[in-house]
Amino acid sequence: MSRFAKRIVVTGIGAVAPNGLGISDYRASLQAGRSGIARHEELANLRFACQIGGKPPVGPDEAEALIPGADLAKLNEAMVYATMAAVEAARMSGVPVDLKKGYNSTPVDWETGAFIGCGIGGMDTMFDELGPVMGEAADQEPGMGCRPMGTDIVPKIMESSVSVAVGKFLGLGGQTTTNSSACNTGTEAIFEAFKHMQLGYCDSMYAGGAEGTHFATWSGFDAMRDVLCSKFNEMAEKGSQPMGAAACGFVPAGGAGVLRLETLEHARKRGAAILCEIAAAYCNSGGQRDGGTMTFPNPDGVARCIRRVLQDSGVDPARISLINGHLTSTAADPREVGSWIKSLELPLDKFPLIQSTKSMIGHALGAAGALESVAVVDQIVNGYVHPSINCEEVHPQIPIGASIPHEMRKKELEYVIKASFGFGDVNGCLLFKRWDGK
């Protein structure tokens, strides 16, 4: 028996991913096991150890096809991605949106808000616009040093820029805000939206995360020893190897994933097509104790997070069809799998399928949990399990190799559990349920 008073359903999803722009392309790549990771000459010129990454196929043409030019000039990279994903989610849910025909004339949607997270926002603006101006500021006339930045600089560098953009273009009147919780950001945003609706503050919410791909966003990780993958610069598509024996660090990426969530009552009232249900959601922290650190989660905190969503939903672990893990292609993968085994308490021969979307898109930081949740919803709706690529040789400390799909499988999924674990020992877990019409 679920402890929640309201049922929360998903009515729309949107994706801007390294291996696909839009849900159709994203699905095709996931089903084909197609990587979106490539080598980037800019990183090589800057002497990065890791010279590969996942960048969405979004250029000026793709952005201008959706967003009016005057508005586009005021957006940073992550804001563009967030807008594209949110508009797709809105349209899928049956909300008509055409930014080119003018969005300011549409009424405010007072019953809808947004939690759109971002891990490290505005780096492109800081380095490409703010930095050069400040570098020449001393040569300007008194009082004029900062003037060349223009009036749009602050909205482009503030962390909440991604939710501000979504709120503006969709006319949202509910709480519209940005969370930031490292690698757990996208998953946490969905939890916050779920909780917000349970408390009765909104009937619907856009939830997810966005992240840019500027080299400055990735530079700090490259400075950390053995955090990023640096051994596959000449074989970029092989670089992300979650659960693989040769995993040597995560591959940085960016993009955006957005879900439109609604109360079941609201979705039915407006006749929206329901994709799936969120049966439970939870976030916690391991307190950076008992093995938990800035970069590794406390195993007990992870287990408590996973068990809480099962407890709150009343779902027997044996009914879980699929795990979409955090699984980053680092030394943390065996520890994470161990936590899943401990938490679910199932015989290894009964262990559910387990996958890592990051094997194809890399680690999209603040957008990771959101893009992976979008993949979960699409798999539930279309009855498939995408492969985890690059782990044909499973890490020797992972004892559930038989549960890792190496090719796409057609399968009806009842419950799919998705988790994220972020720097700072923070955890998030979501339990998705197939919509059965009841």
The catalytic residues are 183, 326, 363
Report the distance separating Cα 229 and Cα 395, nearest Å: 16
